[in-house]
Amino acid sequence: MSTRDNLPKADGNEENKIETLETNSENSIQPDQESNSADITSDQEDITPSETENTVSETNEGAEQKNTSEESTPIASEENEGETPQEQETSSKDSEDDGVQNQMDEAVAEHSEDESTQEKHDIEKKDYHAMTKEELIKELRYLVKNEKVQAIKEHVEEIRSEFNEKFNEEVEQKKEEFLADGGDIIDFYYSTPVKKEFNSVYFDYKEKRNAYYQNLKKDLQENLKRRLDLIDELKGLLNVDENINSTYNHFKSIQERWRNAGPIPRDKYNTVWNTYHHHTENFYDFLHLNREFRDLDFKHNLEQKLKIIERATELAQETDVNRAFRELQLLHKMWKEDLGPVGKEYREPIWEKFSALTKQIHENRQKYFKELDKVYEVNLEKKREIIQKIIEVGSDHPNNHSGWQQKIKEIETLREEFFKAGKVPSNVNEQTWSEFKTAVRDFNRNKNAFYKGLKKEQFENLNKKMELIKIAEDNKDSDDFSVTTPLMKKIQADWKKIGHVPRKDSDRIWKRFKDACNSYFDRLHAERNEANKEELVSLEKKQAHIEALKDLELSGDPEADLQTIKENISVWKTLGRVPYKKKNIESEYNKILDELFKQLNLSRKETELIKYENKLSTLSNQTDDRALKNEQNFIRKKIDEVNGEIRQLENNLQFFKNAKDDNPLVKEVQKNIQKHRETLEVWKAKLVKIKQL
């Protein structure tokens, strides 16, 4: 059983862990090793060959992690020819482990150069693909203003890419429209306030970023010099002529200053750290003269590294694999930067345990990205379906403006669905975007071809609208409102029916037409407002007349009283028109007249005709005869309706032909027939009177 197999589990009890390690180590150390177990050789404790290699940066961690299995797969070569399957499997496993560790080393180097890179993972990455250009600008401005510039690089580049794709698509569409309108490609230029706003915000980001990295570069070089000086100072400890206690304290001082020396360039990171650890090992070799100091350090470092293994064990069970990976980087950084060596007998087992946990966390992350790829594949299918729908919509070419407008709305809806469908696998992203742009571009070309054919019709429409403008301008100062108002309303209706004119003329001619029409109707409304004042005066007079009529007492002489009522009606006719909303005053007046007529015992026909003379007088005073014609048509319609009612009632009597005349139902029908005949006589008499005008 190996020492690695007997490594104590992380249970929080460092004393038990160390005792177990010591027991396991004693059982596994050979006799010739025991004699030298107290000596510390110059072998590096936890700097394995895999740790010193430069690898891929964590900035592209997503794509790199997904391809780890491919990168680490051994390729048949001369080096593994002749190997047994077991040997090849071991070689493949070692290569894979090295690949995982190399990635971790590079991630630690990057993080050590700029510790704020870790903060980028705490900034939410939104679905930039689904955002509009305006929303992208808003998000970019927020990031530049509120977040550290070194932590938003990936966010900014994704936003910039999405914005440029959307804007370039718009440019292509505008270019096709420009060429379709007869423009020369040399003269084409297109920009928008939105594009200028984006450029301005992005420029602010670049300035802020450049200033930061200039300062960072200077600091990194200064820190590098400081660390190299500390290494030289560490090397010199072996030649210092002083007591061991003073030398050990000097060593501790160097360690403390080293921990606080700050980040250095990542390309120097592994070399500098390996050199530092090498001379640290040499110093511990030197300390074999005083084993107490050395063993205290070894014990402390072992306790801390076991705590790191305990945390790595927990991270291997973490469901948030990205969070686990980021924290794993910190653990590696602590292992490498903050802690020194442990006893030689423990170095290999604890490093193997930590490496195995590192690999497991990487495997969890790879599995997560594979699942994510499945989601991207579903999104890809959605986008392909949307592209196919765009092609189908674009294959139908309407022959009128409204049809194309409907198609444009459908395409716009599909475009929004495409952008909201989510991300697709990176290896087909460009192809999918190209297919989408091609489908939309084909539709736009057909649309533009149709509208190009409409140019001739638009020029004809322009001439028609210019004629209407001339009519409007010629009549805008007319005072003949009764004639001009219908004319102005007609040309407004005609304007709406004519259709589109060339875009460059649209606003100009509409302004001329609108100004002419507004000028006329403003005058008309002013005139009507003046007339309304007169109507309000008439209303007051009629209200006073009604109050006086309510107090009228008849003499009892029918002829004298009838003459009094007629004179009252004549006065009413002279009081003028009232506002339209108050026209119910006529009904109020007629009700009072009805009460007076009842006192005279006049027939219904006589009463209605006397009141009707009042209405005829009003109709005859109007400037045109349309009101009279409408009244005649109305009376004829009422005569037809009453005749129809009488015929229906007479038909109903056929159902009662065997019933007696005193039957209640029969009597009711006969009563209704008589009532309708009286009404018919009134309408006929009204028709005679209106014809006499």
pLDDT at site 87: 46
pLDDT at site 75: 29
Query: H or E stretch including 226?
Result: helix 193-235
Lowest mean pLDDT among 100-104, 371-375, 494-498, 543-547: 100-104
User: What gap in Å lies between CA 442 and CA 395, rounded to an integer?
Assistant: 9
% residues pLDDT > 90 (the chain): 7
Q: Which residue has better confidence, 374 or 176?
A: 374
SS3 string, 410-461, reads: HHHHHHHHHHHCCCCCHHHHHHHHHHHHHHHHHHHHHHHHHHHHCHHHHHHH
Q: Please give the average per-residue pLDDT across 320-347, as a whole number.
A: 83
- Name the pLDDT band for 512 (thresholds 50, 70, 90): very high
Q: Please give the average per-residue pLDDT across 660-671, as a whole number.
A: 76
- Name the pLDDT band for 94 (thresholds 50, 70, 90): low
Q: HSE on the CB side for 136, CA within 13 Å?
A: 26
Q: Please give the average per-residue pLDDT across 113-117, as a whole number.
A: 59
The answer to whether residue 131 scores a pLDDT higher than 60 is yes
CB neighbour burial string for 212-223, b if at least 16 within 10 angstroms, e if fewer: eeeebeeebeeb
Lowest mean pLDDT among 63-72, 79-88, 178-187, 630-639: 63-72
Q: Please give the average per-residue pLDDT across 38-66, as a whole number.
A: 33
pLDDT digits (tens, 9 = 90+) for 220-232: 888 899 889 999 8
Q: Mean pLDDT across the chain, nearest whole number?
A: 76
Q: Please give the average per-residue pLDDT across 109-130, as a whole number.
A: 66
- Name the pLDDT band for 112 (thresholds 50, 70, 90): low
Task: Please count the residues of the chain.
Answer: 693
Show the tokens assigned to 256: 């403390």
Q: Which residue has better confidence, 165 or 456?
A: 165
The answer to whether residue 507 scores a pLDDT higher than 80 is yes
Q: HSE on the CB side for 262, CA within 13 Å?
A: 12
Show the tokens assigned to 330: 């910190």
- Name the pLDDT band for 11 (thresholds 50, 70, 90): very low
- Name the pLDDT band for 589 (thresholds 50, 70, 90): confident
Q: Please give the average per-residue pLDDT across 101-125, as a whole number.
A: 65
Q: HSE on the CB side for 687, CA within 13 Å?
A: 15
Range picked from 137-141, 321-325, 536-540 for highest mean pLDDT: 137-141
The distance in angstroms from the start CA to the end CA of the chain is 129
- Name the pLDDT band for 306 (thresholds 50, 70, 90): very high
User: What gap in Å lies between CA 58 and CA 354, rounded to an integer?
Assistant: 20
pLDDT at site 290: 61
User: What gap in Å lies between CA 324 and CA 328, rounded to an integer?
Assistant: 6
- Which pTM was predicted? 0.42
The answer to whether residue 168 scores a pLDDT higher than 80 is yes
pLDDT at site 42: 31
User: What gap in Å lies between CA 457 and CA 462, rounded to an integer?
Assistant: 9
pLDDT at site 622: 64
% residues pLDDT > 70 (the chain): 77
Q: Which residue has better confidence, 101 or 524?
A: 524
Q: Please give the average per-residue pLDDT across 466-470, as a whole number.
A: 92
